[in-house]
Structure formats: structure tokens, C-alpha cells
């Protein structure tokens, strides 16, 4: 073979190598931001929702993801939870299971219907008196009139996630049980190829709130209990409503999927919402009853049904928000 032929072949070989190198560089540039599905977005950073609307006051603590049963996956019995229940500061932050066994002074309770419904708790202990008052309020003419034309807006929280660890951080109560159950349900659902984004979301809607006035002369009958070292916190208000927790996997980027979800709530205007959702899958937990049991769905039609189903005399919701106050000085409890 002549030198000229060898030279030409060498040039061709070098050209092919150069093309392959450029091609691999191009593919590297087009690779997703998170190629490793096991690496969480919040692995080395504190969790934060990307979108929150509207923001609730810092005195309102979301408890709608606590003690949730999930059909065929997980069963838990919700603890008794009522206006005037008192817990140590540590227990108030976690589960509401170990109530302080000490007598309280009489408590006046107000239900925030259009025409407020009121009653007094005089026994000083236990949840039975409050449960009876709650039933009376729901049977009242004031509640029937209240729900006739009630519009219940939704609080919306959305976040882009990369892994199941991110999902657990989105729903951290009860050691992330809710997030773990969502992950299990996702694994049993339909799959799509070429997933470009994963979105986790939380929706909540308040029906009504029950609350008590701040006690003027101490909370407990024995004032020494107000000043206990474990900082007793009492339940000053409970907001009843419904909540949904979901994960959407999509062939579309996160921002477009988020806008499509928000368009269902009239918070965004997207022309191709149906096309985006048609190329996405949803795993949806909805909770709307006092048993706090989540129904599992896998359709955006079910999401629409959840959004459009009104509260009734028989379906009034479950505790989704509460406010706590310290017995020693009535200062509001606020999460860290």
C-alpha cells in the first residue's frame, strides 16, 4: 500500500474518531439533570415546596397527613383529637397519642358557620363531650345553611422530585409512612416510558373550623399543670376538611406538568393541559372522611371528582389543620 493511500486511510480514521467524540459530547449535554434515579433532589439540601398557594399563617399547622390509613396497604387508628386536648410540647409535634391526664377548666367552643354554633365543655376531661357537641353542630340548621352555597378553595403545594427519598421528605409525619405508601402504590400502577419529570403534590380544602377562646385565668384546674417542665400545649382550634396527596410521572418537563395541574384549579392558563396529562400517569390518595382512610386512584378523572365534590351533612371532612397554644401563657405554638 502506498504512502498516499495510508495517509488517506489515516485521515478517514481520525475523522470518524472525531465524529464519534463530538456525538458523545452532544449526548452528554442532553443527558437529564438527575440521571441516577436513586439520588434525591433534597439529599443534601432541606426540603422546600416549589409552589405554595395560598400560604397559610404560621400558627396553622397542617396535620392532614398524620395517621392516614391506605386501602390494602396500611391501617392505623387515629387518636382522639378534640378542642382542649392537651399534650407535652414534644408530643404535640409528633402524634397526638399521649394526652396529659389532668382536669381542665370549662371551655367554650365556637363552630365557624355563617351563623356560629356554640357549646360548652364542662366535664374537664376526655373527648366524649366534644364529639357529642360536634355531632350536634353538624345536625344543626346553622350547618345546613352554611354548606348550601359554600365555596371551598384549595391550598396547593407542588414540588419536583427525583427519588422516593424526596417523596418521604415531602410527607415526613409518622416517619414518612405516607410517602412510603405512595411509593408502593406507584410501583403497582401503570408505567410510561421516557419519563422526563416527577411531580409530588398536596391539596387541602377547609370546610369549617372549631375553636375555643383563650382562657383568661389558666387552662388547667390545677394551675401547677400550666407551668409543667414539659411545656403543655393545648388544641385551640381544629379545621375540618379534605386532602389529596399525589405523584405525577410525565413525558413533559416539570414546569409544564405543574401548570397543567394548576389550570385545573384556575390558577394557570394552559392550552394543552389534556395533551400533557394524557402523556402522564398519576398515583392519587384522597382523604375526606372522619376515619382518615385514603382511597387510591390512578386517573386524572378521579382528581377532577375530588376537586368538584362538595362537603355535605354526612361528609364534613377530618382534622387537616390545627392551632396549638401553650398552657402557661396562651402563646401560639409554632413548628420549627
Residues in Cβ contact with 55 at an 8 Å cutoff, skipping those fewer than 6 apart: none
| pLDDT recorded at residue 5 | 45
- Gap between the Cα atoms of 269 and 132, Å rounded: 45
Q: Which residues of the chain have pLDDT under 50?
A: 2-36
Dump pLDDT digits (tens) for 122-145. 999 999 999 999 999 999 999 999
| pLDDT recorded at residue 21 | 42
- Gap between the Cα atoms of 139 and 133, Å rounded: 10
What are the backbone dihedrals phi and psi of residue 246, each rounded to the nearest 5 degrees, phi first?
-155, 160
Range 18-42 burial, b when 16+ CB lie within 10 A, else e: eeeeeeeeeeeeeeeebeeeeebbb
Q: Quick one: residue 255, left, alpha or beta (phi over 0 = left, psi -120 to 50 = alpha)? A: alpha
| pLDDT recorded at residue 38 | 63
Instruction: Retrieve residue 205's grid coordinates.
Output: 380544602
Range 210-227 burial, b when 16+ CB lie within 10 A, else e: bbbeebeebbbeeeebbe
| pLDDT recorded at residue 37 | 58
| pLDDT recorded at residue 16 | 43
* Three-class DSSP category at 145: helix
C-alpha dihedral, 36 to 39 to 41 to 43, nearest 10° = -160
Amino acid at each position: 500500500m502506498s504512502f498516499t493511500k495510508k495517509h488517506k486511510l489515516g485521515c478517514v480514521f481520525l475523522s470518524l474518531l472525531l465524529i464519534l467524540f463530538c456525538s458523545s459530547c452532544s449526548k452528554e449535554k442532553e443527558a437529564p439533570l438527575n440521571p441516577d434515579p436513586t439520588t434525591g433532589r433534597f439529599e443534601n439540601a432541606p426540603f422546600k415546596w416549589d409552589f405554595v398557594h395560598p400560604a397559610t399563617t404560621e400558627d396553622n399547622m397542617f396535620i392532614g397527613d398524620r395517621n392516614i390509613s391506605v386501602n390494602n396497604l396500611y391501617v392505623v387508628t387515629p387518636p382522639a383529637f378534640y378542642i382542649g386536648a392537651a399534650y407535652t410540647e414534644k408530643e404535640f409535634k409528633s402524634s397526638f397519642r399521649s394526652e396529659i391526664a389532668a382536669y381542665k377548666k370549662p371551655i367554650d367552643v365556637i363552630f365557624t358557620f355563617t351563623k356560629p354554633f356554640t357549646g360548652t365543655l364542662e366535664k374537664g376531661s376526655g373527648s366524649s363531650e366534644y364529639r357529642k357537641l360536634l355531632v350536634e353542630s353538624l345536625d344543626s340548621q346553622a350547618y345546613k345553611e352554611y354548606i348550601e352555597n359554600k365555596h371551598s378553595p384549595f391550598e396547593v403545594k407542588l414540588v419536583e422530585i427525583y427519588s422516593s427519598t424526596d417523596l418521604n421528605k415531602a410527607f415526613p409525619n409518622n416517619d414518612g409512612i405516607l410517602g412510603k405508601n405512595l411509593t408502593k402504590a406507584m410501583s403497582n400502577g401503570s408505567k410510561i416510558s421516557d419519563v422526563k419529570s416527577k411531580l409530588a403534590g398536596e391539596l387541602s380544602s377547609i370546610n369549617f373550623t372549631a375553636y375555643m377562646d383563650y382562657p383568661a385565668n389558666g387552662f388547667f384546674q390545677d394551675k401547677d399543670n400550666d407551668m409543667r417542665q414539659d411545656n403543655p400545649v393545648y388544641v385551640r382550634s381544629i379545621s375540618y376538611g379534605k386532602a389529596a396527596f399525589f405523584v405525577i410521572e410525565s413525558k413533559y418537563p416539570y414546569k409544564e406538568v405543574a401548570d397543567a395541574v394548576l389550570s385545573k384549579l384556575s390558577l394557570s392558563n394552559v392550552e394543552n393541559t389534556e395533551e400533557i396529562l394524557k402523556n402522564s400517569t398519576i398515583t392519587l390518595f384522597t382523604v375526606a372522611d372522619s376515619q382518615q382512610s385514603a382511597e387510591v386512584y390512578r386517573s386524572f378523572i378521579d382528581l377532577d371528582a375530588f376537586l368538584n365534590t362538595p362537603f355535605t351533612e354526612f361528609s364534613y371532612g377530618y382534622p387537616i389543620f390545627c392551632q396549638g397554644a401553650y398552657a402557661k401563657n396562651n402563646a401560639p405554638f409554632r413548628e420549627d
